[in-house]
Structures are given as structure tokens and as C-alpha cells.
Amino acid sequence: MSIRERLSGNEAAATAMKQINPDVVAAFPITPSTEIPQYFSTFVSNGQVDTEFVAVESEHSAMSACIGAESAGARAMTATSANGLSLMWEMIYIASSLRLPIVMSLVNRAVSGPLNIHNDHSDAMGARDAGWIMLFSENNQEAYDNLLMAHRIAEHKDVLLPLMVCQDGFITSHSIENIELLEDDKVKGFVGKYSPEHYLLNNKEPIAVGPLDLQSYLFEHKYQQAEAMRNAKKVILEVSEEFEKLTGRKYSFFEEYKMEDAELVVVCMNSTAGTTKAVVDDLRNKGIKAGLLKIRVFRPFPALEIANALSNAKAIAVLDKADSLNAAGGALSEDVVSGMYINKKNVPVVNYVYGIGGRDTTTKDIESIYSDLQKIADTGNSDNPFRYLGVRIVNSERRN
């Protein structure tokens, strides 16, 4: 029987970590993720877990400690945000290249500069090609559930890649919601014990970790990483199916909200999906065939599945909470458009960059997007495909 609780997103993440009881947690505080290791450290102090908690001097050191722990054969976790992830930059690539299934809570926040502590997705998007599996969470329940599934996915023998669970800073991390927790014994049974095949402290198999890797082999090792990411798609679905049997909560690569006959579709990630669902419900009551595709799995990117899910739409808007500053749209939009093109699904797509630095995105803003989509569906003309939502000063070719 599940346990009903009221927790913030950070408390939910820390609670999941407590129930997992990892061997090592290494962390350095940074807003808005600070509470996760803070709450977890109280569990350590109170004897509720037997985790080795390593308080380090920087986020670079936090990821380094996790790499050392995983290399030695321990299950390791951490949490960070924004500039903290930036300081880990060298080490997040090393973690994935060494095939170490570290799990990290990434509480999304704008990366400096200028300095801003509020939510957008510039931190996650900056790390999108670092070889980490990336799961996104609409609400506190999903942040908790994704963390419970994370080790099963990352530690699978056909994957062995690090994984980050993303949630929106302050919007979910500090907001209290009703949540259903699993009992500790069920979590432990589901997650299982970490038993790596190769590790430094195995005296029966001496190995080297992180040796020089030059022209003769690096290409092949990078190909193996890519294969592992492709393998992760199947594993994610298998773990999600098992999790549904345990909890009744269904997860896949994405959530299709009122997509059965949707003609006007918004694609987005994390907490904005909740706002969009409210707008979809309202538009449906008015007879408008609106729908939402909420991306949960961003890496590996389920291009074929997304293309198929969007194929019957008449107009699509992809929302990016980070600007790639490339004059050609945001990262999510690029992947969606590429996936549709490769899979021969020809539907007009426009991209909206929104919410930068925590700028509020209201139901009125989302309604304006569906209004734009209706015009595109009626005329077949998308005009400028690269747009900004809610920015005050913008040139005449961009929407205000």
C-alpha cells in the first residue's frame, strides 16, 4: 500500500535517495538543488541510511568523488544545478566515457551570465551531448518516480551510462504537492543491489580506469557509448513497465495528452506541461482539437516514436526553455524537426523559446501559441519558424 505524503520536489528526490540508500553521495550546495543533499545529510546523521556522505569543496570535486566511488564498485549519487553542472563539465564527460552509472538530480536553473538563480533549461541543454541519459519530470511525483527507476536503467549491463533526473528549479523543487511514496522494502526490492562486473577493488581482476585512449581505440569506444544509448531505449521501456506493475503509474518516452485526434499540438518538457494541460482542457471544451506531447526521455531521443505520435497533427509548436543561440531554434525543436524529417512526417513546425531566467509562462501565453497554430493549420504558412514567447523587446520578425 502506497504512502500518501506532501513533499516538495527536493524533498521527494532526497526521500527517493534515502530509500535507495546508495553507497556514496558526494555534493556541494548550489541553489536550487541545495536542499537535496541537505535533507539527505540529515538521513545520514540520523542513521536512517549507511551512505558515506562526502562534503566536497566544489561541484567538480563532487562528480570526481562519484567517479572514484563508482570506479571502485560503489553506487553513487549527487545533485546540482546550473553553474554547478558547468563546473562539473570535464567530469560529466569522463563519467559517461568510463561507463559509470552515476545518478544525479539536476534541478534546472539558468546558467550564468548574467547571474540568475531561477528556472530555465540551459543547464540540461548544455549537457545534452555529454553521454548521459536524461529524464525530465513534470511534477514532484515524477521526480521521485524517475529517481526510483534511474539505477535500474543506468546499471543495466547493456547500458552502463550515467543518468540525470531533471526537474524545474523552484517551480517543482520548492513547491509542496501531494505525492505517493512506496514502502522502503518495495523500493529496495525494485532497485536491487548494485553488483558491477568490473571495478577497481576487485582483487581478482586488476584493471585500469581512465587510461590514455588514442587514435587506435577512441573511435570504437565512442561508438560503444552510442550503442549503449541506443540500448537504453529498450531498457527504459522495460523498467517503466515493471514500475507500472508495482505502482500503477505508467511511464514511457513521452506522455500523449488528448492526442488521439489532436490537430494542434504543443511539445514541451517539465512543469510547463501542467500549464499546457489546463489550456488543452479549456480548448477542448470549446471544440478545438488541441493536444500535448510531453517529453519525458530526452536522451536517448526517441525520434521515430515522436515522429509517429505527431504525424496526424496539422500544426506543431515545440517549446524550448533554453535558446541555443544558433539562429536556428532550440535543442528540443532541432531534435523534433530532425526526427520528423528523417521519418518522412511532413507537418508544419514552429519553435518558441520561452521562460528564460524564470520568466513566468501563463495559460494566456500557451493559448496564444494554440491560436498561432490554428492560423498555420488554416493557411499552411508558418512564416517565421523561430519565435520568442513573452519577451518584451524584439524585432519585427519575432512575435511578442
pLDDT at residue 399 in the model: 47
**Residue 15, φ and ψ in degrees, nearest 5:** -65, -40
pLDDT at residue 395 in the model: 54
* Other Cβ atoms closer than 10 A to 381: 8
Q: Which residue has the cell 471544440?
A: 287
* CA distances, 44 to each of 6, 14, 39 (Å): 22, 11, 9
pLDDT at residue 294 in the model: 99
pLDDT at residue 345 in the model: 97
* Other Cβ atoms closer than 10 A to 365: 19
pLDDT at residue 220 in the model: 98
**Which cell numbers in the block locate residue 219?**
573511435
pLDDT at residue 400 in the model: 43
The strand order across the sheet containing 297-299 reads: 52-55, 24-27, 76-80, 103-108, 163-168, 133-136, 297-299
Q: Indicate the burial class of 212 (C-beta count within 10 angstroms; 0-12, 13-18, 19 or more).
A: exposed
* Other Cβ atoms closer than 10 A to 61: 18
Tell how strand 315-320 and strand 133-136 pair up: unpaired
pLDDT at residue 78 in the model: 98
Report if pTM > 0.85: yes
- As averages over each run of 10 residues, the pLDDT of the chain (400 residues) reads 92 98 98 98 98 98 98 98 98 98 99 97 98 98 98 98 99 98 98 97 95 96 98 98 98 98 98 98 98 98 98 98 95 98 97 98 98 96 93 61
